[in-house]
Chains A and B, each alone.
Chain A
Amino acid sequence: MRINARIGRLLAVLAAAFAVTVHADINVGVTLSATGPAASLGIPEKNSFALLPTTIAGQKVNYIVLDDASDTTTAVKNTRKLIAENKVDVIVGSTITPNSLAMIDVVAEAETPMISMAASSRIIEPMDAKRYWVFKTPQNDAQMATAIVEHMTNNNVKSVAYIGFADAYGEGWWNEFSKIAEVRKIQIVANERFNRADTSVTGQVLKIMAAKPDAVLVGGAGTPAALPQKSLKEKGYKGMMYQTHGVANADFLRVCGKDCEGTLLPAGPVLVAGQLPDSNPIKKAALEYVNKYEAAHGKGSVSTFGAHAWDAAKLLASAVPEALKKGQPGTREFRKALRDALEATRNVTAAHGVFNLSAQDHLGFDQRARVMVRIEGGNWKLVQ
């Protein structure tokens, strides 16, 4: 058995080597934050790349996945390495906004398209000669913040307190949320920061309590976002709680437990894929990812972050066949054609929504890409 498998693999390698002489492989360079502060986002992304099909349009695809340790210098170094050493046709990454922003110059210079998996709209806006090469798959913070503010106005929330990470994530959310809330006449009564690894947020929580807000929004990602909420509960806060889509994984529910009952958050539809109406085209695409991921990593292991990686691959799967018509992988023409094809993406249904890109919009999501979710009975529940 073993020997057979080995011979089989050898044959496959030989066949692949032979194939190279005919068609060059497509090389996808990935840099993501699998270690460091953003590891909880980067790891499911990394896991997702292992689930991706290894061929697109009959062409072999190599995913070269590098870790940037949540550090901008390393992210840029990785990008340069992927472009110079691995001659990649497209860069996917990085996980977080600062890293992605830092990579823009490099990919624009090398004329290599890039698909970021980070949240901030600054990565693709304002459109300019450099961002011409840059795309992204996660919903913009602004889009998610709008969903929260809408929900707040519909539920009579007049005043809100914000507490977010003292990093790019918390800052990005604050910028978007405060802007939109102001327009919708919601008064922001407190703006606090905490560190991911802080052991106590009592000071911030007491200040928020003193401001007596109708609702509190926590701008954090993963399990650390549970700490302010638990502290608020412990100190007797009774108002509404909002979280961001950054918390959408099972670990958050595990750590926050009953303190998070009733919490509201905007999220990509993939989080509640099973609860979507069958008429929603995203349901099928999202379930495909969820099933694949959970088959490999266990029930309940799926998070929305991995789906951003999956969606990047979806974009590629639709763009590569077009690009192949214009040039061979590994060439400048192919990269340019790939970029053009990415920009021309229409009606591609992915785990997080339906992509319709344009020259001005390198994300291309509409309202379908976000839903409001409530935590009920320790589970995500779609708010209709």
Chain B
Amino acid sequence: MDLQIALLLGQDGLTNGAIYALLALALVLVFAVTRVIFIPQGEFVAFGALTLASLQAGKLPGTVWLLLALGVLIGVLEGSRAVRAGQLRRLPLIVLLNVGVPLLLAGTLIAVSPATLPLPVQVLLALMLVVPLGPMIYRLAYQPVAEASVLVLLIVSVAVHVALTGLGLLFFGAEGSRTPPFTEVSFAVGDALLQGQTVLVIVASLGLIIALYLFFERTIYGKALRATAMNRTGARLMGISGTLAGMLSFTLAALIGVLSGILISPITTIYYDSGFLIGLKGFVGAIIGGLASYPVAAAGAALVGLLESYSSFWASAFKEVIVFTLIIPVLLWRSLKTTHVEEQ
């Protein structure tokens, strides 16, 4: 292995690591706020990328129907609750928000041909289609069991993941898709070419991480989320609704997932079930961060990416064996470092 190969491998590892890091941040966020280990995080990566690909191929992505179906379900749930509570005045808003908006979106997609739109508009459409699924899934699957144990919430996550994978296959088929790159720029590194898109992934991930930091530090919603993460009961007493915090964290997680998907789909092929492994590696990063620390989680994710890249060079058949076996001592080290006496 010469220096050039080492550099290229490092760059490759960092590119993947950047995506893992984004997902790790989302996982940490969701866990801290809701105690949910969000296994379906990866599905948002796949759904985001594949929805964009469908739009570009001039097809109506199946996620539209999912959005509509979930919207109707929530509309019915919230609507009947409002009726029972005698708050009939809230009905129009509930219907408009949950059914009207998705219908409008579906109508728009059918009316205009999305394939002809410029790339940024397509990306925006994909975001509008997939991101709302995050809070909707929280409302339908998690909120009714919000107080259950971490184990039960985890198993709910598994069930959501199973259902979403099935839907992914139904919507997008078994074959993968790619989307055109955002930039065609490429740099020469020795004999090899370095694509601008891979650099973009790293830069955009860093940008997103900084944006998240500002969101948590500067905005009222960010602060509310942080408060909930630190002390749920306390936050509730201060008037921060657990449901709102949950919805918000799921919205952010979905947003991060979809953006990750859109970022990497030009440099790799995304399949309906790609999300699980990508999410799992993000999860590894998140756990290395103890599901609590954002910077350590990001560093852990980058470590996973690098491990993966170098081991695929040295012994590709044993890549997963190497990556996951090496993770264990890291976990052990982190675990010993974060050991604390149980609360007295």
Contact = CB atoms under 8 A, between A and B. Distances in A.
A195 B269 CA distance: 12
B192 interface: yes
Contacts of A163: 316
B163 to A, nearest CB: 13
A227 B19 CA distance: 18
B191 interface: yes
Q: Which of B191, B276, B317 has the most chain A CB atoms closer than 10 A to its own CB?
A: B317
Contacts of B271: 196-197, 223-224
A226 B316 CA distance: 17
Interface in A173-209: 192-204, 206-207
A193 B193 contact: no
A200 B193 contact: no
A206 B9 contact: yes
Interface in B1-32: 5, 8-9, 12, 15-16, 19
Contact of A255 (B176, B278, B310, B320): B176
Interface stretch (A35-43, A125-133, A317-325): A35-43
A43 B8 contact: no
Given A224-B269, A255-B175, A203 B192 contact: no
Contacts of B316: 163, 166, 192-194, 203-204, 207
A234 B273 CA distance: 25
B203 interface: no
The winner among B19, B175, B277 for most chain A CB atoms within 10 A is B175
Contact of A200 (B195, B309, B311): B309
Contacts of A166: 316-317, 319-320
Contact of B311 (A203, A234, A252): A203
A196 B269 CA distance: 10
A236 interface: yes
B173 A43 contact: yes
Residue among A37, A163, A195, A197 with max Cβ neighbours from chain B (10 Å): A197
A166 B312 CA distance: 12
Interface in B62-81: none
Contacts of B264: 199
Contacts of A43: 173-174
Contacts of B313: 203-204, 206-207
Given A197-B277, A204-B313, A235-B192, A255 B268 contact: no
A35 B176 CA distance: 14
B214 interface: no
A224 B277 CA distance: 15
A210 interface: yes
B166 interface: yes
B16 to A, nearest CB: 5
Contacts of A200: 12, 15-16, 267-268, 308-309, 312
A258 to B, nearest CB: 12
Contact of A193 (B5, B314, B317): B317
A347 B6 CA distance: 57
Interface string B157-172: 0000000001001000
Contacts of A35: 166, 169
B178 A255 contact: yes
Interface residues of A, number: 37
A254 B195 CA distance: 21
A210 B314 CA distance: 12
B312 A201 contact: yes
A17 to B, nearest CB: 34
A239 to B, nearest CB: 14
Given A39-B174, A40-B175, A199 B16 contact: yes
Contact of A202 (B273, B277, B309): B309
A203 B12 contact: yes
Contacts of A222: 174-176
Nearest to A202: B12
Interface string A204-224: 101100100000000000111
Contact of B269 (A207, A210, A223, A235): A223
A10 to B, nearest CB: 32
A28 to B, nearest CB: 23
B274 interface: yes
A249 interface: yes
A251 interface: yes
A267 to B, nearest CB: 17
A202 B277 CA distance: 17
B169 A202 contact: no
Interface string A245-281: 0000101101100000000000000000000000000
Contact of A195 (B19, B175, B320): B320
B51 interface: no
B41 interface: no
A135 B273 CA distance: 32
A46 to B, nearest CB: 11
A227 B269 contact: yes
Interface in B239-287: 264, 267-269, 271, 273-274, 276-278
A193 B314 CA distance: 11
Contacts of A236: 191-193
Interface of B: 5, 8-9, 12, 15-16, 19, 166, 169, 173-178, 191-193, 195, 264, 267-269, 271, 273-274, 276-278, 308-314, 316-317, 319-320
Closest A-B pairs by Cβ, 7 of them = A203-B312, A203-B313, A39-B174, A251-B175, A40-B174, A202-B12, A223-B176
16 contacts: A39-B174, A166-B319, A197-B274, A199-B16, A202-B309, A203-B12, A203-B309, A203-B311, A203-B316, A206-B5, A206-B8, A207-B316, A222-B174, A234-B195, A235-B8, A236-B192
Interface of A: 35, 37, 39-40, 42-43, 163, 166, 192-204, 206-207, 210, 222-224, 226-227, 234-236, 249, 251-252, 254-255
